Amino acid sequence: MTDELQTPAYALTHLNPEGGVRMVDVSVKGLTVRTAVASGRVIVPPEVLRAITENQVRKGDVLTVAQIAGIMGAKQTSLLIPLCHHVNLTAVDLELKPNEETNSIEIRAYTKATGPTGVEMEALTAVSIAALTIYDMCKSLSKEIVITDIQLLAKTGGASGDYRKTPSRAE
Amino acid sequence: MTDELQTPAYALTHLNPEGGVRMVDVSVKGLTVRTAVASGRVIVPPEVLRAITENQVRKGDVLTVAQIAGIMGAKQTSLLIPLCHHVNLTAVDLELKPNEETNSIEIRAYTKATGPTGVEMEALTAVSIAALTIYDMCKSLSKEIVITDIQLLAKTGGASGDYRKTPSRAE
Amino acid sequence: MTDELQTPAYALTHLNPEGGVRMVDVSVKGLTVRTAVASGRVIVPPEVLRAITENQVRKGDVLTVAQIAGIMGAKQTSLLIPLCHHVNLTAVDLELKPNEETNSIEIRAYTKATGPTGVEMEALTAVSIAALTIYDMCKSLSKEIVITDIQLLAKTGGASGDYRKTPSRAE
Amino acid sequence: MTDELQTPAYALTHLNPEGGVRMVDVSVKGLTVRTAVASGRVIVPPEVLRAITENQVRKGDVLTVAQIAGIMGAKQTSLLIPLCHHVNLTAVDLELKPNEETNSIEIRAYTKATGPTGVEMEALTAVSIAALTIYDMCKSLSKEIVITDIQLLAKTGGASGDYRKTPSRAE
Amino acid sequence: MTDELQTPAYALTHLNPEGGVRMVDVSVKGLTVRTAVASGRVIVPPEVLRAITENQVRKGDVLTVAQIAGIMGAKQTSLLIPLCHHVNLTAVDLELKPNEETNSIEIRAYTKATGPTGVEMEALTAVSIAALTIYDMCKSLSKEIVITDIQLLAKTGGASGDYRKTPSRAE
Amino acid sequence: MTDELQTPAYALTHLNPEGGVRMVDVSVKGLTVRTAVASGRVIVPPEVLRAITENQVRKGDVLTVAQIAGIMGAKQTSLLIPLCHHVNLTAVDLELKPNEETNSIEIRAYTKATGPTGVEMEALTAVSIAALTIYDMCKSLSKEIVITDIQLLAKTGGASGDYRKTPSRAE
């Protein structure tokens, strides 16, 4: 809260760590270009993977629907995550790759914006909504589907600097 | 994607034209003032037009409800159109004019913002939602209603420059 | 309003036709199966139509993105149209067909639900949002795009009975 | 509307005070840091206040749920209030204090952003949604609950300058 | 939770009063017709009241915009109030009356649905959003505006029976 | 599509498996009580787990915020997942348990409704949004957080019958 509002008549009094929940003040942070890459996987039985890659799922083309759902989900991040600041994304890109060795669909999301806060949550939300969409479209084929390994691979920008998950872990 | 993320461990590999759907990167575009004007028409039977202009529709004042719905719709554009970037609109204005010669309600929407992307979609969405609202309020009176001629009349700002539809077509 | 609330202490007094805007009471209507089919067209220059059918648009596969946007738009109808009742849709289907003779993308939407109100607005909204999505994805290629002829083709169910637009008008 | 669009082919003609509803143009306003503090109260019977402070309400911890609902509500302000501009909030903080002397829960909300418009509506919306949430969680205990005294306590930033409600009124 | 899921492998273990927050199970409640009437007031300075009644507010017709915002707000209740069940409203009606004696706009909202839960929150939310909209449209005229006395006037339907606020309190 | 609409003038012609994306027709399914239980885990470094359990995270009480976010997310499932039908949930319950042995927060969500479709997606969405919320609140403490093992534990109701994941897999 700005100094001029710190008199008892106007101030919030709980401005200490144990004062509950808040959307923390990011107004002093400068505007920088931020990017993030997140990944995740949806493990499916082999016959479901085949139905996806051969586009035989009754509801439609699983990978394309999931890709679009992920992009739209990224734009709703601040409405879904209670303490997440809204940011005007300048780019969102998703990649979904079937991997027959691991019986899974691998998802990567890339997000970008210029602002005071990072775009990690937007990338992670994109991955999560894309994964849920794959689940939804395949759930009539099998209930043995697992969404897993949703994590941040890399980020750039912001005061905390850049980050790369070490490749062994990122893989 | 920024250069520093272009190693295999982090990069999306589909960065070529056939790689699917994406919300394209607009972060290199400068912030300029953008405006757009879009128009459209709702063709109604003469007795419905009369009910509208005489404010005899049971659900309420058609033109005012449609005007407000259009403004609110403009603010939701990026949540409705999958690959549309969110922009903080600085102005939205709608005009709805009954035209007894053409048996239609003519709609115009004006939008404005300062940002890296244009506001054409916001103006077109405002017109569309206003038109749908007119339809909804009058559908108990007639099913012979048609929403038509939704188009961009003009835009200013941005790298692609200004645009005016030639009057013969705009009319 | 139910009779027992019609005393001055509790009643709304404007319960007459000129009392402003309202979401009309549909609770006395029975629950019946409702379906609706709506259509519309997006007129584009020949080179844009070719880019769409050959999947050469930079943002991605236009028809698939528009189809999904239309389905998701249908589910948001009551949040967009001020006086429209919410209905739990049991089916939504969209069809988008390029027509090289008319230089347009033809859109049809089919909606279904069991409820006290019809699903015409949901079908019309699906067509409108799909059309706006086509516009958004192609607007960097041309500004000479027009969304037109959005109308109801047919409906079934409800007290007002079934409806078919006469084929000449439905084209 | 910018001058270059003021010819009859493109202009909206109703640009005068009686022309209906509009989201007014704020693009000429400079970007300044804006803060606002709003307050309100929810009056409850003594036994309900006790259930709240002793965390005995069946639905869960009333004050925490209300605090989070208020923060999330603040982020949706421009989607709820028809003519309110969207602003990217940089901070939201809510305080809810049971007051046994007045048999009420006192709510204060603090909002902050950098933009062309103020954040008063975001603070007032946060208070309102928090108050409604308290009501919802306690309504099975009593119907004698009243939400009251929702008002602006202070604001800073913007062309109209700072504002403080006089303490006697702000209490 | 149904009995068959009460084994440790599947059950939630916190099913006791202190287990945190939940959206309580209403599935055993029968479907009955529910109505609710809520009210509230927005106190404004005399010159603001005059600007409203003479329709001289720059943003547009205050009472109509507020009425529509209230109706649309009612439909979003379950998205705003964390533990509130979604209900398909069959009717929403709002009344806004300027009262020159009390220098206020009096608001009443009426809601109706058939379902397992009541529609009180929808009526109270409609009043609140309408009040916030009045505030937003008049805030450039005065900051001495107060939203007050939001309460339930009456409800019908449901296991807890009907309710009428005693007229003295309902005023 | 009902038979009476199957003439060329009104029918969608793509009603075959390769016709693209659709929200499949569930109107012939009977209304039955549906429940689902889903689970997932958020793996965090030990010091983050300690910060969570000791409520030392600057943004506030992680588990409570995540619980509420999960409940609210469940109610938005059909707006996030493109082909998911909307269902009026009658109950949502979430449980979040820190587990120091596995250095993770274990999440379980329980959903219930009466309708033609299951509530698995609502339970999985609740888990996912709760997990993302934990990530958001702790991401300033560590980037080595992983959301994992999101899966269905059990469901009841519907034509496909009940389902229990075998305990070994459900762990």
Residues 6+ apart with CB under 8 A from D82: B68, B71, B72, D21, D23, E65, E68, E69, E133
Query: Mean pLDDT, chain A, as a whole number?
Result: 89
Q: Environment class of residue C155 by beta-carbon count within 10 Å: exposed (0-12), middle (13-18) or buried (19+)?
A: buried
- Strands D146-156 and D104-115 turn out to be unpaired
pLDDT given for residue C10 in this prediction:
67
How far is D8 from chain E, CA to nearest CA, in Å?
23
> Above 60 in pLDDT, residue D8?
no
CA proximity to D38, closest of D168, D149, D166: D149
CA proximity to F42, closest of F119, F123, F136, F121: F136
How far is E142 from chain C, CA to nearest CA, in Å?
26
Sign of the Cα torsion A151, A153, A158, A159 reads positive
CA proximity to A125, closest of A169, A171, A170, A69: A69
Task: List the structure tokens of D119.
Answer: 């954040």
Residues 6+ apart with CB under 8 A from A170: A39, A153, A164, B9, B10
Catalytic residue among E3, E25, E136, E149: E136
> Above 90 in pLDDT, residue E139?
yes
E65-102 as b/e: b if 16+ CB within 10 A? bbbbbbbbbbbbbbbbbbbbbbbbbbbbbbbbebeeee
pLDDT given for residue F25 in this prediction:
92
Taking an 8 Å cut-off on Cβ atoms, the answer to whether D22 and E124 are in contact is no
C33-47 as b/e: b if 16+ CB within 10 A? bbbbbbbbbbbbeee
CA distance D61 to D51: 10
Residues 6+ apart with CB under 8 A from B6: none
Q: Environment class of residue D157 by beta-carbon count within 10 Å: exposed (0-12), middle (13-18) or buried (19+)?
A: buried
Mutate to test the interface with F, among C90, C120, C155 (most CBs of F within 10 A): C90
How far is A140 from chain F, CA to nearest CA, in Å?
9
Q: Environment class of residue A54 by beta-carbon count within 10 Å: exposed (0-12), middle (13-18) or buried (19+)?
A: exposed
Write out the H or E segment, with its range, that includes residue E130: helix E120-138
List chain F residues with CB under 8 Å of A20: 60-61
Tell me the backbone φ, ψ of residue C154, rounded to 5 degrees.
-165, 155
pLDDT given for residue D148 in this prediction:
98
Tell me what the mean pLDDT of segment D106-114 comes to: 96
Tell me what the mean pLDDT of segment C46-56 comes to: 95
Mark out the alpha helices in B54-104 (DSSP H runs).
62-75, 77-80
Tell me the pLDDT band of C5, cut-offs 50, 70 and 90.
low
pLDDT given for residue B77 in this prediction:
98
C85 touches chain B (CB under 8 A): no
> Above 50 in pLDDT, residue D1?
no
pLDDT given for residue E38 in this prediction:
98
How far is D31 from chain A, CA to nearest CA, in Å?
13
ipTM: 0.94
Q: Environment class of residue C14 by beta-carbon count within 10 Å: exposed (0-12), middle (13-18) or buried (19+)?
A: middle
Nearest Cα residue in chain C from A69: C68
D13 touches chain B (CB under 8 A): yes
F17 touches chain A (CB under 8 A): yes
pTM, rounded to two decimals: 0.94
Tell me the pLDDT band of A31, cut-offs 50, 70 and 90.
confident
Percent of chain D with pLDDT over 90: 75
CA distance A7 to F67: 34
Question: Can you say which residues of C are annotated as belonging to the binding site?
Answer: 83-85, 121-122
How far is B75 from chain A, CA to nearest CA, in Å?
13
pLDDT given for residue B10 in this prediction:
67
- Annotated binding-site residue? E137: no
pLDDT given for residue F154 in this prediction:
96
List chain A residues with CB under 8 Å of F163: 143
Looking at per-residue pLDDT, the higher value among C29 and F81 belongs to F81
List chain B residues with CB under 8 Å of E137: none
Residue the block writes with tokens 């259930």: D51
Catalytic residue among D61, D93, D136, D149: D136
User: What one-letter code names the amino acid at E16?
Assistant: N
CA distance C117 to C26: 7
- Which chains form contacts with chain A, at 3 or more CB pairs under 8 Å? B, C, D, F
Question: What are the residue boundaries of the structural domains of chain E, listed by start?
Answer: 1-28, 31-157
Task: List the structure tokens of B11.
Answer: 């990069």
Q: What share of chain B is helix, strand, coil (3-state, %, to 5)?
A: 30, 30, 40
- pLDDT, one tens digit per residue, over E39-72 is 999 999 999 999 999 999 988 899 999 999 999 9
F142 HSE (CA, 13 A, CB side): 17
CA max distance for chain C: 66
C82 touches chain E (CB under 8 A): yes
Nearest Cα residue in chain C from E86: C86
Of C64, C69, C72, the CB nearest to A64: C64
> Above 90 in pLDDT, residue E102?
yes
* E136 is annotated as an active-site residue: yes
Taking an 8 Å cut-off on Cβ atoms, the answer to whether E146 and D150 are in contact is yes
D137 touches chain E (CB under 8 A): yes
Q: Block means of pLDDT (10 residues each) for chain F, length 171 residues?
A: 55 55 88 94 97 91 96 98 96 96 97 94 98 97 97 92 74 42
Taking an 8 Å cut-off on Cβ atoms, the answer to whether F26 and C91 are in contact is yes
Segments of D46-145 assigned E as strands: 89-99, 104-115
Residues A106, A41 contacting (CB under 8 angstroms)? yes
> Above 70 in pLDDT, residue D11?
no
pLDDT given for residue F76 in this prediction:
98
DSSP code of A171?
A: -
CA proximity to B40, closest of F132, C7, C32, C146: C146
D140 touches chain F (CB under 8 A): no
Chain C from 20 to 79: CB within 8 A of any A CB: 61, 64-65, 68-69, 72
CA proximity to D135, closest of E82, F6, E146: E82
> Above 50 in pLDDT, residue A126?
yes
Tell me the pLDDT band of A28, cut-offs 50, 70 and 90.
confident
How far is A75 from chain D, CA to nearest CA, in Å?
13
CA distance C105 to D80: 34
> Above 90 in pLDDT, residue E105?
yes
3-state secondary structure B103-143: CEEEEEEEEEEEECCCCHHHHHHHHHHHHHHHHHHHCCCCC
Mutate to test the interface with C, among B72, B141, B147, B166 (most CBs of C within 10 A): B147
Of B71, B88, B170, the CB nearest to D82: B71
Nearest Cα residue in chain F from D63: F64
Residue the block writes with tokens 């013969």: B168
Q: What amino acid positions of A are annotated as catalytic residues? A: 136
- pLDDT, one tens digit per residue, over C113-162 is 999 999 999 999 999 999 999 999 999 999 999 999 999 999 999 888 89
3-state secondary structure chain C: CCHHHCCCCCCCCCCCCCCCCEECCCCCCCCEEEEEEEEEEEECCHHHHHHHHCCCCCCCCHHHHHHHHHHHHHHCHHHHCCCCCCCCEEEEEEEEEEECCCCEEEEEEEEEEEECCCCHHHHHHHHHHHHHHHHHHHCCCCCCCEEEEEEEEEEECCCCCCEECCHHHHC
Mutate to test the interface with E, among F37, F75, F90 (most CBs of E within 10 A): F90
Task: List the structure tokens of E26.
Answer: 């209403």
Homologous superfamily of B31-157 in CATH? Molybdopterin cofactor biosynthesis C (MoaC) domain (3.30.70.640)
pLDDT given for residue B6 in this prediction:
55
- Annotated binding-site residue? B83: yes
- Annotated binding-site residue? F122: yes
- Annotated binding-site residue? F84: yes
Tell me what the mean pLDDT of segment E122-138 comes to: 98
Taking an 8 Å cut-off on Cβ atoms, the answer to whether F153 and E10 are in contact is yes
Query: Mean pLDDT, chain D, as a whole number?
Result: 89
Mutate to test the interface with C, among F25, F77, F88 (most CBs of C within 10 A): F25
Nearest Cα residue in chain D from A31: D114
CA distance D140 to D45: 13
CA distance B116 to B119: 10
Whole-angstrom CA distances from B168 to B36, B120, F18 are 19, 20, 43
Of E61, E68, E121, the CB nearest to D132: E121
How far is E77 from chain F, CA to nearest CA, in Å?
11
- pLDDT, one tens digit per residue, over A141-165 is 999 999 999 999 999 998 888 999 9
DSSP code of F13?
A: S
For the CA atoms of C80, C85, C91, C96, what is the dihedral angle to 10 degrees? -40
Instruction: Kindly give the confidence (pLDDT) of every residue in chain B, 171 residues in length, as a single tens digit, with 9 standing for 90 and above.
Output: 444 555 556 666 554 444 589 999 998 887 889 999 999 999 999 999 999 999 999 888 999 999 999 999 999 999 999 999 999 999 999 999 999 999 999 999 999 999 999 999 999 999 999 999 999 999 999 999 999 999 999 999 988 889 999 865 444
Taking an 8 Å cut-off on Cβ atoms, the answer to whether B143 and C125 are in contact is no
- pLDDT, one tens digit per residue, over D133-147 is 999 999 999 999 999
Task: List the structure tokens of B110.
Answer: 């004006």
CA distance C124 to C107: 10
DSSP bridge partners of F164: F154
